Amino acid sequence: MSGKHYIDNKHFENLISLYKKDPQEYEEELFHLFDILISNILVGFSFKLDEEDAKQECFLLILKTLKNFNPEMGNAFNYFTTVILNNLKLLYTKNKKYNEKIESYINLKKDLLDS
């Protein structure tokens, strides 16, 4: 692996394979790479989300989907980038709708008090 924020796909896939066989041995290194990937996506797409909450949600989803990853179906970097990106889009949309509902409620309450 070269560079601080670069993930080498072959190393990534190998680490996933090793993690599936011995999670305790490879968990720290693998999830460090996932942390880099999630952080880069959050910054790269400028999601307006609480970073720690978003990361937690992504890590939970990664734990659920990790067992389903098969390198014969595509490379790990693309697979997990898609998983993370789709999850962050969902979180962003959910938060945006929630904030719009709160704003609508506040405006409605203000209008009622003003009349």
pLDDT in tens, 38-68: 999 999 998 888 999 999 999 999 999 998 8
In three-state secondary structure terms, 71 is helix
Q: Structural domain tally of the chain?
A: 1
Is the residue at 4 inside a domain?
no
- In this prediction, residue 15 has a pLDDT band, given cuts at 50, 70 and 90, of very high
The amino acid that residue 68 corresponds to is N
State the alpha helices, DSSP H only, in 1-115.
9-21, 23-44, 51-65, 76-114
* Domain CATH code at residue 85: 1.10.1740
Whole-model pTM over 0.85: no
Is the residue at 71 inside a domain?
yes
